[in-house]
Structure 1
Amino acid sequence: MADATPSANKGGFRQMCQNPYLLGVASFSTLGGLLFGYDQGVISGVITMESFGACFPHIYTDSGFKGWFVSTLLLAAWFGSLINGPLADRIGRKLSINIAVIIFVIGSAIQCAAVNIPMLFVGMPPP
């Protein structure tokens, strides 16, 4: 006798928990979204700090400029999403992910070491 349950119910969370490799891949793939949201949250918290205002008074006092600074992350993410598909087709998914990680780390280091406003914008890492 055939199983009456639809095939869509055979997968899902239960099957993912039974397969350690699949659980690991799914867990690590969610880290990208978590880090993207965390980065946005950190930026919004940092630009309101008085120490940030002392180093970068133009961003701290000008709300329009502050908006551009925060939205740069989203613009870079949009640009990265347009580039990553064709890049992954050409060089492979693993290598394109590794390149994106390297760009993100370099951008984060530039932004942490920023001493002027152009350095802050250049260091805005695209995810």
Structure 2
Amino acid sequence: MRLPRPAPGTGRWWVVGGIGIGLAVAYVIWLGLGLVGAVRPVVTGFAVSSPSSASIEYDVHRPAGVAVRCVLTALDVRKGRVGTLEDLIPAGPQTSVHRSVSLRTSALATTVVVDSCVRVD
């Protein structure tokens, strides 16, 4: 069965659409390659045990053999910083590492977050 010919003047839109799809595919590939070897933290839980202490549990996903430094921050009800700690995770063969860390706080915290995790050279 033969397909009908496109209406005159629509060929230009087929070219524009093809270029658009090509650019979209290139963008998705670029995003995917940017995530290869990335360090990614995932908070699994936190607890506030007193006005001077809080704890956090989190997983770090990293390439094997890479040391990581994470900055943990306890925040109060107004999102003010009431405690901070650097957690150094040594290099090892594991690609996922679970951490449980306690922080000292200067006031009652309402949440604990992982501010950043970066590779250590």
**TM-score normalized with structure 2 length:** 0.27
User: Which of 1 and 2 has higher RCO (CA within 8 Å, sep 6+)?
Assistant: 2
Considering fraction of residues, name the structure with more strand: 2
Considering fraction of residues, name the structure with more helix: 1
Larger Rg: 2
